[in-house]
Amino acid sequence: MRRKPGRYGESGIKSDINVTPLVDVCLVLLIIFMVVTPLLSNSKVVLPETRTPDMLPEREGQLTVSIQADGGVSLGSRRVAEADLASALREMHARSPEREVVVKGDRRLSYQQVRQILRQVNAAGFAKAGLATEKRKK
């Protein structure tokens, strides 16, 4: 039995790269990342409700300090130990002193715990700090 010589030489083996499976895998990974990324926020904070909260726009340079119900504190998306919070705030203030701070305290926390974090924000040198709330549902 003798093979007929094909277009690709005597062996008949095709050595072209097939990129279709690679593109399929990349598209599936892209879709997975697009779905999962919004769910990755560390902020599991249930904000207190008010009747008429003042709507302040979220700005790009704002620093968000989140206090979870278990007492854990996050700066932006980075979790920080409470003992390291003051030094981390001072470091961020040294980088950009005009930055605004938004404190998101879980509604199940006592006001004393939220006030303690606000004091640390103030002691770090930030002049503009605010508390985030949600509009009360009727």
* Average pLDDT for 6-29: 79
Query: Has residue 114 got a pLDDT over 90?
Result: no
* Confidence at 12, pLDDT banded by 50, 70, 90: low
Q: What Å distances lie between residue 5 and 8, 17, 18, 57, CA to CA?
A: 8, 21, 22, 71
Query: Has residue 31 got a pLDDT over 90?
Result: yes
Structural domains in the chain plus CATH codes: 49-135 (3.30.420.270)
**Spatial distance between the Cα atoms of 123 and 35, rounded to a whole number of angstroms:** 39
Predicted pLDDT at 27: 95
Predicted pLDDT at 45: 65
Classify 93 as helix, strand or coil. Answer: helix
pTM above 0.75, yes or no: no
DSSP 6: B
Element containing residue 86 per DSSP (H, E): helix 85-95
For tokens 């508390």, the residue is 131
Rounded to a whole number of angstroms, the distance between the first and last alpha carbons of the chain is 85
Query: Has residue 76 got a pLDDT over 90?
Result: no
Predicted pLDDT at 82: 82
Region of poorest pLDDT, from 57-61, 92-96, 107-111: 57-61
Instruction: Pick the more confident residue, 1 or 78.
Output: 78
